[in-house]
């Protein structure tokens, strides 16, 4: 268990996966929850800014809001390339962290972390050492075994979504972000049609899911959309630009307070006191 000076806890950690554009000023409830989970005033937060093209600006912004929320220790981890992600310096920075926050930006930059020593440390500490890991926008989609790298369009087709390997911190779940605001349901359905074994989870802005074990709780102002094509009928088109035939897919719309079990693939309404 975790002691009073923030030592490692010896129990599984949690994931806070945010759809982007989280409020940093008027309440900052999602970030406040993250700081609380990391230990409050005893939190030691590592901010991974690999995805952004403005790492110092992003670091300054998050450091300011985390300090306002009671956490005085925020260290930036930039990881310019694979050598950094496999190096001793980055590993040492993560050694004493109680929380890791992966910023938004361009998720293709996060591919340098996939399969790296840092990836292994994050996975090991998440599953057995009580580490809290959060990701927003690009940092959110990178947390799945598969991450969305891009794509757009009105059709459910292979051309509508581009994916690649992710960090694998939440198995068999594929995350999309800025979901309702950018009309990304066709992209999410395309992704699960191409890999029906994965649950598609689309997260609106200023909205997040708190993952613990096989379940997650919805937090924030928007809605989380879950697309389950496990038992759907999928007929792939001849060309990537042609529509995929998809029927029998299950769709769940989950506002704050709802619970989803990724093992049983069932949704429920949580206790009223847990609502945002």
Cα–Cα nearest to 132, from 102, 91, 166 = 102
Give yes or no: 127 in active site. no
Q: How far apart are CA 31 and CA 22, in angstroms?
A: 8
The tokens describing 261, both together, are 């079990």
Give yes or no: 36 in active site. no
Cα–Cα nearest to 133, from 42, 270, 260, 15 = 15
The tokens describing 220, both together, are 């924030």
Going by their DSSP bridges, the two strands 250-255 and 245-247 should be labelled as unpaired
Q: How far apart are CA 143 and CA 14, in angstroms?
A: 12
Q: How far apart are CA 79 and CA 32, in angstroms?
A: 26
Among 137, 157, 190, 256, the active-site one is: 137
Q: How far apart are CA 191 and CA 199, in angstroms?
A: 9
Among 178, 190, 198, 217, the active-site one is: 178
Among 22, 59, 157, 205, the active-site one is: 205
Cα–Cα nearest to 99, from 137, 57, 138, 139 = 139
> How many C-beta neighbours within 10 Å does residue 152 have?
13
Give yes or no: 137 in active site. yes
List the catalytic residues: 137, 178, 205
């Amino acid at each position: 268990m975790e002691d009073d000076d923030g030592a490692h806890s010896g129990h599984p950690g949690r994931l806070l996966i945010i759809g982007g554009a989280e409020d940093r000023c008027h309440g900052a409830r999602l970030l406040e929850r993250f700081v609380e989970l990391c230990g409050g005033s005893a939190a030691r937060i590592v901010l991974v800014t690999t995805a952004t093209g403005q790492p110092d600006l992003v670091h300054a912004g998050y450091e300011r809001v985390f300090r306002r929320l009671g956490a005085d220790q925020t260290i930036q981890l930039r990881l310019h390339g694979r050598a950094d992600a496999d190096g001793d310096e980055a590993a040492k920075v993560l050694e004493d962290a109680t929380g890791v926050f992966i910023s938004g930006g361009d998720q293709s930059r996060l591919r340098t972390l996939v399969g790296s020593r840092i990836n292994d440390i994050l996975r090991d500490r998440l599953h057995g050492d009580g580490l809290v890991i959060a990701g927003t926008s690009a940092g959110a989609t990178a947390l799945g075994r598969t991450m969305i790298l891009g794509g757009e369009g009105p059709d459910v087709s292979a051309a509508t979504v581009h994916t690649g390997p992710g960090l694998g911190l939440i198995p068999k779940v594929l995350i999309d972000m800025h979901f309702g605001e950018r009309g990304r349901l066709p992209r999410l359905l395309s992704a699960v049609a191409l890999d029906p074994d994965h649950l598609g989870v689309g997260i609106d802005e200023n909205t997040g899911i708190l993952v613990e074990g096989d379940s997650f709780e919805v937090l924030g102002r928007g809605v989380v959309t879950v697309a389950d094509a496990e038992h759907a009928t999928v007929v792939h088109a001849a060309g990537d630009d042609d529509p995929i035939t998809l029927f029998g897919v299950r769709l769940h719309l989950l506002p704050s307070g709802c619970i989803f079990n990724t093992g049983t693939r069932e949704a429920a309404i949580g206790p009223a006191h847990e609502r945002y």
